[in-house]
């Protein structure tokens, strides 16, 4: 058994886990998993996220609106638009108000997943306004924020510098220099399976530059399974490969990486 593994970013409410969600989650403690932060991306999956958090003592929740949830129907796949569009007509402020009661639940430990995603055709002005509102909410609630940043480094970092929230920059893909500056602000840097991929040079440099006390581990499951199981459905137990990779880069024992990053996760979530 490997551990203690704390997965700071998972999506067990995703359809990929429909058939065996509970069986898989039941199995994780025997694989060294001591904590999971399950992420909501809009009001539609928030109830499922809370269901998992209340079913398992070691699961906590982050509730927020992902920038991809602003995608118009014409740009969505078979699943169609998120409730942000299909229910609220793109009025993310109304959806945020509808989500407010969730933050009174003690199992909700963070605001997120939220941020900026310039890969998808979502208007930047709407994304920026939503992300800024969610940062302000996190500060108001004194909760950490889970930051999504895809092809939007400059704008994400500018807002984080302006407001200085606590939280995690999820699936970090920026430079080593920026990672060090974000950590100096008190933010934690999240690394998952993508950091083990061949060609992930920027992630390697960021890992080398950061102290272990600034790093947390994640999966983004069911996505981004690490090497050597890349291409399979990801789950929290596969963090063992990420921890081993970071340990190798830092010339540490994997157990030290797991122990320290699990303590970091508990600290940022106030557990």
Query: Binding-site residues for a divalent metal cation, please?
Result: 9, 11, 113, 148, 170, 220
Distance CA 69, CA 65 (A): 7
The residues, ordered by sequence, that sit 6+ positions from 163 with a Cβ below 8 Å of its Cβ are 132, 135, 136, 139
Q: How many CB atoms lie within 10 A of CB 232?
A: 11
Decide: 102 and 83 in contact? Cβ < 8 Å.
no
Which position has the token pair 């080593």? 176
Q: Give DSSP secondary structure letters for 151-162.
A: S-HHHHHHHHHH
Give backbone dihedrals phi and psi of 120, rounded to 5 degrees, phi first: -95, 155
| Binding-site positions | 9, 11, 113, 148, 170, 220
Give me the DSSP letters along 7-58: EEEE-TTSGGGTTTHHHHHHHGGGGTEEEEEEE--STTTHHHHHHHHHH-TT
CB 188 within 8 Å of CB 168? yes
What does the chain come to in residues? 271
Long-range contacts of 171-174 (CB under 8 A, 24+ apart): 171/9, 171/218, 171/220, 171/224, 172/203, 172/206, 173/149, 173/202, 173/203, 174/149, 174/202, 174/206
């Amino acid at each position: 058994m490997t551990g203690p593994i704390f997965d700071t970013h998972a999506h067990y409410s995703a359809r990929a886990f429909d058939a065996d969600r509970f069986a898989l989650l039941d199995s994780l403690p025997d694989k060294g998993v001591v904590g999971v932060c399950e992420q909501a991306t809009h009001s539609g999956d928030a109830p499922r996220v809370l269901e998992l958090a209340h079913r398992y003592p070691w699961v906590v929740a982050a509730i927020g609106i992902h920038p991809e949830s602003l995608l118009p129907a014409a740009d969505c796949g078979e699943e169609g638009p998120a409730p942000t569009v299909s229910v609220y007509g793109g009025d993310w402020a109304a959806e945020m108000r509808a989500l407010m009661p969730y933050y009174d639940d003690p199992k909700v430990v963070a605001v997120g997943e939220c941020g900026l995603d310039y890969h998808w055709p979502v208007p930047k002005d709407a994304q920026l306004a939503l992300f800024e509102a969610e940062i302000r909410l996190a500060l108001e609630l004194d909760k950490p924020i889970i930051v999504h940043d895809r092809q939007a480094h400059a704008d994400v970092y500018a807002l984080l510098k302006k407001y200085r929230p606590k939280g995690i920059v999820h699936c970090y893909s920026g430079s080593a220099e920026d990672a060090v500056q974000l950590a100096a602000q008190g933010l934690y840097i999240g690394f998952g399976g993508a950091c083990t991929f061949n060609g992930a040079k920027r992630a390697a440099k960021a890992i080398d530059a950061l102290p272990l006390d600034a790093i947390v581990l994640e999966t983004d499951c069911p996505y981004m399974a690490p090497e050597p199981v890349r291409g399979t459905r990801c789950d929290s137990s596969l963090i063992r490969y990420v921890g081993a990779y970071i340990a190798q880069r830092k010339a540490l024992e994997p157990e030290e990486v797991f122990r320290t990053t699990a303590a970091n996760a508990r600290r940022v979530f106030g557990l």
